[in-house]
Each structure stands twice: as structure tokens, then as C-alpha cells.
Amino acid sequence: MSLLESKNGLHFFVFEHSREYQQVQFKFFDAVESMDPNNIVVLLQLNPYHVDSLLQLSDVCRIQEDQETARDLIERALYSFECAFHPVFSLTSGTSRLDYRRAENRAFYLAVYKHMMFLEKRGCPRTALEYCRLLLSLDPDNDPLFMLLLIDFLCLRCREYASLIRLYEEWEVHRKLSQLPNFAYSVALALYHSSQQEETPPEESQRMKLKSDRMLQDALIMFPGVLMPLLDLCTVQPDAAVSSHDFFGPRNRIGQPSALSVLEGLYVGRCHSMWKEAGVMLWMEGNVGEVLKRVDSKDPFVEECLNKRKQGYQIVPRHIHRHVLLSEIKEATSALPLDVTAQPVMSYDPLPPLDSIASYTRPERYCALLLTLLHFSLFLSWKLSGVVTIQYPDLTNALITECNQIPSAMLQNALVESLHWTAETITPTKAR
């Protein structure tokens, strides 16, 4: 790690890859392209502290439900980073910055994020909250993993209600946190819980209770699409007057921007357990009734929120999509747009920034193309034997385009002619 610059009391750092580490990184890319986790295992046997390999293999182990090994691999990655820390780099001062656009820095963000989620699942939400604050402090202006979509949940999990309320009050002016469904609902819930604490003076308790009522009603009016899925996951049957009302029904969500559906689905999938308490549900029920009265009386705030929903959620920033993919919450991932789900996502670098900064690039490797051609020929052989059916024209055209990049004219022409012959002579067959 090196110090790039210091200004206004902030220190900007970057992790650096040595020439030897770069060669290992290139081998890692080859292992990923092979789609065989065993190749990553072999690479780690020779380079036990290669960070991207540790992150990738950890995900493989987690998917295979080997949670202990997955955690150990992430901890090894964090140790590798710790050994490289600059003497001035501090995790607690809040003055150290890491630019996510730099490819070498991203693995640190991801390692800390994955470690944080393991801690939360193991019942350590207070420690997980501190790691969440760390990630937010590394780049609070851009928030590349959008930790603002998670920090409210962790505050509620460890009952840090005052911290959540303070964050909302201090950041609302310049970050408009009330426009995020998670803050709109979670801050209201934090105020409610604070009002119920025994150490809260009666006057302060009453003030907090009234404020929580107002904020919850505003949240329900601004984000009505949260209520019914939330009640469903809490296994609560809504009142007939609520379920039959158009305001909370599916008709009101027709034409809703997909960006808003992603944010609402993320909150419901992540935080529904925070709303299951009987007292919380009674509080919710009373405020839902008040909201319906305001809707029926044509409260102008209802129309104002409708216009905000239609105009303010047309585009989702790339770091929100990145957060949703990392969260793996099905209620949110199912609402992602096609342009996100259709592209390949690498777990060691999900949705890299479009303005990425790379200090080095991977050299061209034509043998990788030959390997692709070999795989293609195997698919064709299986096709002829009736094992599988493939639609080859698009793949053939793509391979021909790649062949044109090969410097050897003789090899280039031979491969192109072979692919043209294949496309002309082999006809589609149905799989048996």
C-alpha cells in the first residue's frame, strides 16, 4: 500500500501489485475462465495469500454450505491486506480513503463486506456494524458498496437506535436519506423503540412517539409498496379494509419505476424480521389506518409523493445494483433490470465502475482463443451425436471476429474457413 496524497486532513491510499503478484493475477483470470474451482485451489496451494483467489474460493465454499472454510478464507484475505497496510493508514481515524475505481482497492472492500456479513449471520451485529461504518468511512461521498442501504438494519439489530436517528438527522440535508425506503421506515421504527425504553423521560417519550407516528405515516405514503410484502413475510393477515384498498393494492404499483421496486424489495427482504414484534405490529396497524384516512381525504402530501415516485426513481446508480448483487436477497435481485442480470458478474469484482483505473492490463493471449475453439468443436460433436442442441450462428460470428485479431494470416484464414464450413454443413437437430 502506498500513500497517493494528503489534503484537507484526508489521506488517500492505494494497494499496489508487485510484478510477481501481477503474474499470479493473470493466472487467476485463467483459472476463472476455466470455470473449474479446482484450478483456483491449485493456484492457492502455490500462492496461499492471493486475495482474489481467496474471495472466489470462499464464495464456492459458501455455496457448497461449507461456512467455516468460507469464513477462514475471508479472514486469510484480510490478514493479507493487513500485512500490506501503510504505517499512516488507520481503520479508526476516519481520515483514510480508498478509491474504489482503482482495481487493486476493490478486493479490500469486498473482503471486509463478506467478513461483515459472516459476523452478522453468526449473531455479532454490533461488530458487523463497526465494519459497516469502516466501509462507509473509506469513501463516504461515493459509498461504492452503498452501505447506507445496510447500516440501518445493523443499527436496529444491535439496538443502536440513537446512532441511527443521529445519522439520519445529520445526513438528511445533503444526502436526502428520506428518499430511501430503508431509512424512511427504519428511522420511524428506531424512534418508536426509543420511546418505549424505560430510561426515556415521559415528555421525551411522548415526543418521540408522536414523531415516530408521523414518520411512519410519511413512509407508508411515500413507499406504499412496502406494506403488503412486509406483512406477508411477517405472516400477518392484513385487515380487509387495508387489503381491499387501492392505495396498498397491486394496482397502485402498476407503472412504478423498477428502481423503486429494487429498493423496496431489498428493504422488505432484509428487515422484515425487525417488524415481527406484537407491539410493533399494533403500532403499524394504527398508523396504516391513519394513512388510509389521509388518502381518502385527498391529503395533498399523497399526490406530492406520487409525483416524486414517478419522477425521482428513473435511474438506479451502478453502486446500488452492486449492493443488491452482493446482498443476494431474492426480493431485490428478482427486480433487477435485464441489462444487469444479462451480463456476467464475477464475485471477485461485481459490476466494476465504468470509470475504472487500472495500473496494469492483462496481456493478449491467443491460446485462450484456441481453447475456446476446442470447446466449440466439442459442442459441435455433441450436437452431431444428438446429446445437446446449440444455436451456433451467433457464436460462430463472434469467434470469426476474434479470429480476425490473430496476427498470423495463415492461421487466421484457416480458422475462419473452418468456422464457415461448420456453419454451412451442420444443421440444427433436436436434443434427444
Identity of the residue numbered 360: Y
Rounded-to-integer distance, Cα 115 and Cα 117, Å: 5
Q: What tens digit of pLDDT does each residue of 165-176 get?
A: 999 999 999 999
Q: Coil, helix or strand for 218?
A: helix
Rounded-to-integer distance, Cα 315 and Cα 141, Å: 19
pLDDT at site 399? 52
Kindly write down the DSSP assignment for every residue of 132-162, as one continuous string: HHHHHHHSTTT-TT-GGGTHHHHHHHTT-HH
Burial class, 150, CB count within 10 angstroms (exposed 0-12 / middle 13-18 / buried 19+): buried
- Mean pLDDT on 121-139: 96
Rounded-to-integer distance, Cα 60 and Cα 348, Å: 11
Q: What tens digit of pLDDT does each residue of 90-128 get?
A: 998 889 999 999 999 999 999 999 999 999 999 999 999
What are the C-alpha distances in Å from 399 to residues 117, 178, 344? 41, 49, 18
- Across the strands, what pairs with 10? 7
Q: Coil, helix or strand for 5?
A: strand
- Name the strand (E) or helix (H) holding 50: none
Instruction: Judge whether 265 and 334 are in contact, CB under 8 Å.
Output: yes
Q: Coil, helix or strand for 86?
A: coil
- Mean pLDDT on 334-340: 86
Is residue 28 scored above 80 in pLDDT?
yes
Rounded-to-integer distance, Cα 230 and Cα 226, Å: 6
Kindly write down the DSSP assignment for every residue of 189-213, as one continuous string: HHHHHHHH-TTS-HHHHHHHHHHHH
pLDDT at site 290? 94
0.95 surpassed by pTM: no
- Mean pLDDT on 208-212: 95
pLDDT at site 284? 95
Q: What phi-psi label fits residue 343: left (phi over 0), alpha (psi between -120 and 50 degrees) or beta? A: beta
* φ, ψ at 252 (rounded to 5°): -70, -20
pLDDT at site 427? 44
Q: Residue 121, CB half-sphere, CA atoms under 13 Å: how many?
A: 12
Is residue 389 scored above 70 in pLDDT?
no
- Across the strands, what pairs with 7? 10
Is residue 252 scored above 90 in pLDDT?
no
- Mean pLDDT on 222-246: 90
pLDDT at site 409? 52
Tell whether the torsion through CA atoms of 84, 89, 94 and 100 is positive or negative.
negative
The secondary structure of residue 299, as a DSSP letter, is -
Q: Would strands 10-14 and 2-7 be described as parallel, antiparallel, or unpaired?
A: antiparallel
- Mean pLDDT on 366-388: 49
> Residue ranges of the domains in the chain?
1-139, 147-316, 372-425
Residue keyed to cell 414484534: 277
CA nearest to 136, candidates 112, 165, 159: 112
pLDDT at site 392? 46
Q: What tens digit of pLDDT does each residue of 265-323 get?
A: 999 999 999 999 999 999 999 999 999 999 999 999 999 998 888 888 888 889 999 99
Is residue 342 scored above 90 in pLDDT?
no
- Tell the CATH topology of 1-139: 1.25.40
pLDDT at site 359? 84
